[in-house]
Amino acid sequence: MAARVAVTGLGSLSALGNDVAAHLAGLRAGTVGIGPTQGLDVSAMKTKISAEVRGFVPEEHFEPRQLGLVDRTSQFAVVAARQALADAGPAFEGVARHRVGAIFAASVGFHAVDDSYRKLYAEGAPRPHPFTVPRAMPSGQVSHVTMDLGIHGPAFSIASACSSAAHSIGTAFHMVRSGMLDVALAGGGESQITYGMLKSWEALRVLSPEACRPFSKDRSGLVIGEGAGAVVLENLDRARARGATIHAEIVGFGMSADGMDITAPDMESAAASMRFALEDAGLAPEAIGYVSAHGTATALNDKTEAGALRLVFGDHLARLPVSSSKSQYGHTMNASGALDFVTTVLALREGFLPPTMGFREADPDCDLDCVPNAARAAAIEAALSSSFAFGGLNAVLAVKRFDA
Amino acid sequence: MQTDDPAVAEIVAFISGEVGVDASLLTPDTPVAELGISSLDLIETIFKLESRFGIEIPNDGPLSGSEVTVGTLVDHVAELLAAQKAKTA
């Protein structure tokens, strides 16, 4: 029999702040964490804004000897994972080593790549730093999480572009539900705020020069963010028996592949992943009280996503708030599925709807209640958190409020 | 490993500082493996020696074996340094 799965720990770093309390306060207040990029010189770029993690001092979290081996992206993942486990309490106690797992997004250590290649190509250095490989490897973050938290069971990374962290949480959920694991750490970290990657995103012509305005008619593209989200997922009976605080119950995971295009999204396929999540959760569409949208604020994504929501929810969409927190903490790429899931859990637990900030003008192609410009109180029973990645890899998580 | 040679003394001091081991442990016969540092630390130390002294320590040189001593390391760096000075002189 399938086990129920509790969310017992949360961790986050984002442009809204460097822990879950700051994240929650920012969501409620409608804080926009997007601003002029400070971490690097953007004078040669057209896009001068991003959603950076501010005030993060690596030395406060890592020994000097560790730091040379841990890319910024992995630093975020480890710190968020530590927060999640600290929040969950002694979740590993009495659990067999092979029944605690870790699944995180596969994120390239772009800072290592950028620094090393600049020295090699631009500065004529005879060789890159010897730690370029361990810092850059996409499985680095999950390895560091296992080393840091003493995890010895199944552990691996999942790559599905901007759905990576959602696929990671969903896979961990299924592993706990099936009885393979008692406890899992899951999530993802990402920092693509490097010269090379910002230039590359700019070249793709998807970046907004001024703000992230999901579902607004005058939306002009996405804003790159950085950060990490992490959760502790745990067998619900076990969590209850040890007296853990249960933030929410994760109940469904739906996936689909568009099989169409390497960047453009597909409405039918996005809808299918939401339907599969509902089916997996045993929930009717009418049971959903909030959707945390992928909502990147590109012209095509938001229109396609609104259409997909219409296909799944029909008339219920008129009563279903759908918002995009990317308007607040940017598009954190491989971390976004985890940060959005943390956001969704907080919305359920605290009884509020996170806003879509920067909204100025209704778009007939995005006929949604996107919770424009201010958070609202709402008692939500169940919610979806959607990730629709480049390359058509979709992952949708369904989560329910847990009343002890 | 001639410890009274200023070039050797400089190399020893640099290694001691970078790796964080007591200079008195850096005796010629001590295997590098016994300095309490990981294989990655050794790789990084070699990289830092290359950067600090502007030399290239070849992958297939005397440091490629598994039983490298402090003496082998320091002498090799000193030789490369001397060869480089001779070339630029």
Residues A235 and A260 placed together within one structural domain of the fold: no
Q: A126: nearest CA in chain B?
A: B56
C-beta separation of A339 from A329 below 8 A:
yes
| 8 Å CB contact of A129 and B50 | no
Residues A271 and A220 placed together within one structural domain of the fold: no
Q: Can you give the residue ranges of every domain in chain B?
A: 6-88
How distant is the Cα of A310 from the closest Cα of chain B, in angstroms?
Answer: 54
| 8 Å CB contact of B44 and A130 | yes
B23: pLDDT strictly greater than 90: no
Rounded Cα–Cα distance for residues B6 and B26 (Å): 15
* Structure confidence at residue B41 (pLDDT): 85
Q: Which of A391, A401, A388, A331 is nearest to A167 (CA)?
A: A388
* ipTM metric: 0.81
Of A69, A129, A134, nearest to B47 by CB-CB distance is A129
Tell me the average pLDDT across A379-390.
97
Tell me the average pLDDT across A279-286.
98
A106: pLDDT strictly greater than 90: yes
| 8 Å CB contact of A130 and B50 | no
Tell me the average pLDDT across B3-9.
85
Tens-digit pLDDT profile for residues A300-328 = 999 999 999 999 999 999 999 999 999 99
B6-88 — its CATH code?
1.10.1200.10
Assess if residue A304 is contained within a domain: yes
Q: Cβ of A90: how many Cβ atoms within 10 Å? A: 10
* Structure confidence at residue A307 (pLDDT): 98
Best of B37, B43, B44, B49 to disrupt the A interface by mutation (most A CBs within 10 Å)? B44
Residues A333 and A362 placed together within one structural domain of the fold: yes
Q: A65: nearest CA in chain B?
A: B41
| 8 Å CB contact of B50 and A126 | yes
Q: Is B40 on the interface with A (CB under 8 A)?
A: yes
CATH number of the CATH domain containing A370: 3.40.47.10
Q: Cβ of A55: how many Cβ atoms within 10 Å? A: 8
Q: Is B56 on the interface with A (CB under 8 A)?
A: yes
Tell me the average pLDDT across A171-181.
98
Assess if residue A204 is contained within a domain: yes
Assess if residue A246 is contained within a domain: no
C-beta separation of A199 from A45 below 8 A:
yes
B66: pLDDT strictly greater than 80: no
Tell me the average pLDDT across A214-238.
98
Q: Which residues of B touch A129 (CB under 8 A)?
A: 47
List, in sequence order, every residue forming a beta bridge with A292; answer none if it has no partner.
Answer: A323, A385
Best of A67, A115, A120, A129 to disrupt the B interface by mutation (most B CBs within 10 Å)? A129
* Structure confidence at residue B2 (pLDDT): 79
* Structure confidence at residue A303 (pLDDT): 97
Residues A258 and A222 placed together within one structural domain of the fold: no
The sign of the dihedral angle between the CA atoms of B3, B44, A68, A110 is: positive
Residues A201 and A296 placed together within one structural domain of the fold: no
Q: How many domains does chain A have?
A: 2
Residues A140 and A114 placed together within one structural domain of the fold: yes
* Structure confidence at residue B85 (pLDDT): 85
* Structure confidence at residue A235 (pLDDT): 98
Q: Cβ of A199: how many Cβ atoms within 10 Å? A: 14
A177: pLDDT strictly greater than 90: yes
Residues A344 and A386 placed together within one structural domain of the fold: yes
Rounded Cα–Cα distance for residues B65 and B61 (Å): 8
| 8 Å CB contact of A130 and B47 | yes
| 8 Å CB contact of A126 and B43 | no
Rounded Cα–Cα distance for residues A215 and A305 (Å): 10
Query: Which residue type occupies B73?
Result: L
* Domain, as residue range, for A134: 5-241
Quote the mean pLDDT of chain A.
97
Q: A125: nearest CA in chain B?
A: B51
* Structure confidence at residue A346 (pLDDT): 98
Residue A182 makes CB contacts below 8 A (sequence gap 6+) with A95, A96, A99, A100, A176, A234, A235, A238
Q: Which residues of A touch B56 (CB under 8 A)?
A: 126-127
Rounded Cα–Cα distance for residues B22 and B9 (Å): 14
B36: pLDDT strictly greater than 90: no
| 8 Å CB contact of A126 and B56 | yes
* Structure confidence at residue A333 (pLDDT): 98
Assess if residue A247 is contained within a domain: no
The terminus-to-terminus CA distance of chain A in angstroms comes to 22
Catalytic (active site) residue A294:
yes
Looking at A23, A162, A366, A370, which residue is catalytic? A162
φ and ψ at residue A253, rounded to 5 degrees? -145, 120
